[in-house]
């Protein structure tokens, strides 16, 4: 088992609705992970929509839009189950988010994914060019 890194608390994720942090993968590429409430615990996914990988699901200051146990893609309104990452509606229907291995111990969330290294809280630094972010075309008001 790889080393684990404390990320946040389950309580913080449930209170805020999501938690965003930056990671580096085994190829040296930086990316983001979003942690969302899942029943009594949490689940973690790479921060992009599988239908359109340039579309982030969570953004700094906004977080992820989570309603009734589903995370909503702000671009097309696809909805993903917060526990499994499965999409049951929208353009990503039938697809599943890329999950990230985390464990919960004593109310704390730890990153244990062997492919990822925790960098820091929030989005990838130097990647805050919102001009590259597609605007929402969904019918859902964010």
Instruction: Supply the CATH number for residue 66's domain.
Output: 2.102.10.10
Q: Which of 128, 85, 100 is nearest to 25 (CA)?
A: 100
**Domain boundaries, position 63:** 5-122
pTM here?
A: 0.86
Q: In the chain, how many domains are there? A: 1
What is the rounded CA–CA span in Å between residue 78 and residue 15? Answer: 23
Residue 134 within a domain: no
Give the lowest-confidence range in 45-49, 80-84, 91-95, 126-130: 126-130
Helix (H) or strand (E) holding 35: strand 30-38
**Structure confidence by residue, pLDDT tens digits, 83-126:** 999 999 999 999 999 999 999 999 999 999 999 999 999 999 87
């Amino acid at each position: 088992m790889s080393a684990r890194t404390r990320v946040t608390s389950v309580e913080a994720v449930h209170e805020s609705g999501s938690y965003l942090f930056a990671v580096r993968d085994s190829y040296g590429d930086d990316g983001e992970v979003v942690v969302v409430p899942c029943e009594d615990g949490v689940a973690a996914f790479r921060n992009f929509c599988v239908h359109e990988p340039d579309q982030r699901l969570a953004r700094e200051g906004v977080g992820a839009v989570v309603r009734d146990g589903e995370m909503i893609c702000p671009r097309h309104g696809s909805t993903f189950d917060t526990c499994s990452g499965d999409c049951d509606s929208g353009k990503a229907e039938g697809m599943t988010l890329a999950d990230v291995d985390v464990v919960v111990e004593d109310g704390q969330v730890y990153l244990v994914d062997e492919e990822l290294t925790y960098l820091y809280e929030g989005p990838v630094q130097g990647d805050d060019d919102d001009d590259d972010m597609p605007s929402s075309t969904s019918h859902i008001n964010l």
